[in-house]
């Protein structure tokens, strides 16, 4: 274990002891452990190496080519659950591995009617497994084009963690993200909000009366995200968590 910790620390892993325990727990044998260590030292995200990420107390499957759920996004889940009724119709749009939808459904008394959609087939392979315990259905396609017509006017909670990093700032992100997560899950266009505007513009026909759209953004970008939701005819407010450095804009039909 000591040499494992030393190798991780030498590679720049700040929490080397904790990572060593996770790698050891994920390894089938010594040879497999050496393989996992080499991948981690080579710069792969720890979650890709061990095959799972912790999010809102859940162990979610992730892997090569998938966006890793961030802890700050737990704030969106908290806000969504506070707005939801038991058994609500929940749509996780731009779902990635299905983290938002699975977390919300896991916390609602009586569960939820859960739907998740994304354009990335690699991410959806993980999402199918992550939402399955909650009876979730997964749809592949570009935003609302992926969805069945039967969902129109029924979505009570539309939860979204769409890409919002400006294209020119992608190069400033940690190498783990830049080199190992799909660009489609990071790049939000020139100002970072291309997908936010598309989500907002198409939301109203899918929302139930009184339904809520919750979308993660940054504190700097939140006025523009809020403007996009307001332009779509939603009543808008922004909420922040200083603890998690998280900002969520909420639009209500």
State the first-to-last Cα distance of the chain, in angstroms, to the nearest integer. Answer: 55
d(C-alpha 54, C-alpha 47), whole Å: 9
Q: Is 209 exposed, middle or buried (0-12, 13-18, 19+ CB in 10 A)?
A: exposed
d(C-alpha 163, C-alpha 237), whole Å: 20
d(C-alpha 112, C-alpha 124), whole Å: 19
d(C-alpha 13, C-alpha 40), whole Å: 9
What pLDDT digit, counting tens, does each position of 184-241 carry? 999 999 999 999 999 999 999 999 999 999 999 999 999 999 999 999 999 999 999 9
Query: Residue range 59-74: average pLDDT?
Result: 95
Q: Which stretch, 27-36, 62-71, 72-81, has highest mean pLDDT?
A: 72-81
Residue 12 has pLDDT above 90, yes or no: no
Q: Is 68 helix (H, G, I), strand (E, B) or coil?
A: coil
What pLDDT digit, counting tens, does each position of 155-185 carry? 999 999 999 999 999 999 988 899 899 899 9
* pLDDT of amino acid 1: 61
For 70-162, where are the E strands, in sequence order?
Answer: 89-93, 113-118, 137-140, 155-160
* pLDDT of amino acid 15: 81
More reliable by pLDDT, 2 or 69: 69
């Amino acid at each position: 274990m000591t040499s494992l910790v030393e190798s991780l620390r030498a590679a720049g892993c700040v929490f080397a002891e904790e990572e060593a325990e996770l790698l050891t727990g994920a390894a089938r044998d010594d040879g497999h452990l050496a393989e996992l260590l080499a991948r981690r030292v080579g710069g792969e995200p720890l979650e890709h190496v061990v095959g799972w990420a912790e999010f809102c107390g859940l162990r979610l499957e992730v892997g090569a080519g998938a966006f890793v759920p961030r802890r700050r996004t737990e704030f969106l889940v908290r806000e969504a659950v506070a707005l939801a009724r038991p058994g609500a119709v929940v749509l996780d749009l731009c779902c990635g591995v299905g983290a938002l939808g699975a977390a919300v459904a896991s916390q609602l008394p009586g569960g939820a009617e859960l739907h998740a959609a994304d354009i990335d087939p690699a991410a959806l392979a993980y999402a199918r497994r992550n939402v399955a315990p909650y009876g979730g259905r997964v749809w592949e396609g570009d935003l609302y084009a992926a969805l069945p017509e039967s969902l129109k006017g029924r979505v009570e909670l539309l939860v979204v963690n769409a890409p919002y990093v400006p294209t020119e700032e992608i190069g400033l992100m940690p190498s783990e993200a830049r080199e190992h997560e799909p660009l489609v899950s990071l790049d939000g266009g020139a100002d970072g909000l291309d997908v936010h505007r598309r989500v907002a513009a198409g939301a109203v026909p899918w929302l139930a009366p009184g339904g809520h759209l919750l979308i993660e953004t940054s504190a700097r970008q939140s006025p523009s995200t809020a403007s996009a939701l307001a332009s779509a005819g939603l009543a808008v407010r922004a909420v922040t968590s200083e603890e998690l450095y998280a900002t969520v804009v909420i639009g209500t039909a």
